[in-house]
Amino acid sequence: MARKPTVKKRCDCPDQNRPKKGGCKHSWYYNLTTSEGNRTRATIPDSIGLTQAQAQAILDSTTPGVAPEPVEVNLTFRQWAADWYGRRRVKDTSLEQYEIAIRKHLNPRWGSQRLRSIKKAQVEAWVQEMEANKDIANSTAEGHWKVFQMIMKDALQNGKITVNPTYEVEGPYVGPSKSYVFTPDECWAIYDEFPELYRPIPMIGFGCGARQAEAFAVCDDVLASDGKLLTVRRQVLRTKETRHRPTLVDRLKTSPRLNTKDVPVPPYLQDALGEYMERFPPQATETVLWEHKKKIDDCKRGPARPLFWTPRGGLLNRNHFNDDLWKPTLRKLGIKDEDGDLPTFHDLRHTFISRCLQNGIPEHTVAAWVGDTVEELRRTYSHLLKDHADTHGAVAASVTARPAPSPSRVGIAA
């Protein structure tokens, strides 16, 4: 088996193996054996300033007998980001988030800069800029950072750059997410105050832990015959792929890892849904029978009968629901968090999960109901359980308390 070629230098520079800025200006070379069996000296392109280990890594990643391709000197971040984006095979919602991050933040900051000229110090300064910018939420900055990392890592793997400037750079600080836990009185006040046409929707959130898009998509075929079980398997999506029209899709946020989830329906919700369907019968429409790695336009369609419709005969969308129904109801009831902000519909899901955990329902059971993993529950919802001292503190104290003295020892002490 032929030995792998080793990179070398023909210079006497004292820092040739670990060149510094302003130091050794010589390239690395190696002895190349061509397909005809001839040996020749070949230079590794753009290897000035690289350490011996870095140059050797470039050489080891090339096909034997083929010289390394020169780095594209004038390739800009915008050009490579477009190439990277065009090769993604992810959900349309993730693809839309990537496109927004590139268009609104990454290209304005890095787009015109040559890819190979982006340095670690510049990246560190950019991270600090995002942290200091009060107009960028922590979660938004984290999203921009992750997309930037993926693009630069892909550039390194494809030989467009020799060093990844994001290596060992810590991303933007992301603090704990802010959540609100509704009281039972608040949940029922919302139900009583909500417009009749949409009244059961908040109840599906706090009674079953459904996400907003899942609550919008409840159909008559997902309720068990006795009404005691709800099978969640659809969403109402309004994305670029659906041409921004509310569309019923047989898919969950967790697909393909989890395509359906079953959750018990409390008796009060069974009654509410029964009365609602008598007054507002479900209407027939089509649902997208989603298949993994297929675009929505390429998927088959099937029949479905959603419960919730607008007065104009359309499916619900979150903008109309949040701005015209949810927020006005909370303002009228005076429900707000400690910072004076309005809780979101997703906080109904937080409320369901935290109440279940607080009252001793096993984590794996709650995780199965809401479609999360146990690890996600522990990471996301543990900070909501503020009254553990009241609910489980006595049990914990009893198992660690000093044992009561036995009768024999009491006699000895006397």
Question: Which of 81-95, 197-211, 256-270 is the least confident region?
Answer: 81-95
Per-residue confidence at 36, pLDDT binned at 50, 70, 90? Answer: confident
Residue 56 pLDDT class (50, 70, 90 cuts): confident
Q: What is the pLDDT of residues 62-84, one digit of tens each?
A: 766 666 655 566 789 999 999 99
Phi, psi of 35 (to 5 degrees): -65, -20
Per-residue confidence band for 400, with pLDDT thresholds at 50, 70 and 90? low
Per-residue confidence (pLDDT) for residue 25, from 0 to 100: 80
Give the residues across from 43 on adjacent strands: 29
Has residue 316 got a pLDDT over 80? yes
The region, left, alpha or beta by phi > 0 then psi within -120 to 50, assigned to residue 37 is left
Query: In Å, what is the CA distance from 133 to each residue of 127, 136, 137, 269, 356?
Result: 10, 6, 8, 44, 37
What is residue 4's DSSP assignment? Answer: P
From 281, 270, 347, select the one nearest 308 (Cα to Cα).
281
What amino acid occupies position 97?
Q
For the chain, list the domains and their CATH numbers: 1-70 (no CATH), 77-157 (1.10.150.130), 184-387 (1.10.443.10)
**Alpha carbon distances (Å) from 59 to 31, 71, 91, 152:** 11, 13, 36, 20
CA distance from start to end of the chain: 88
Mean pLDDT for the stretch of residues 321-334: 96
pLDDT-derived band at 241, boundaries 50, 70, 90 = confident
List all residues 6 or more positions away from 268 whose beta carbon is below 8 Å from its beta carbon.
203, 207
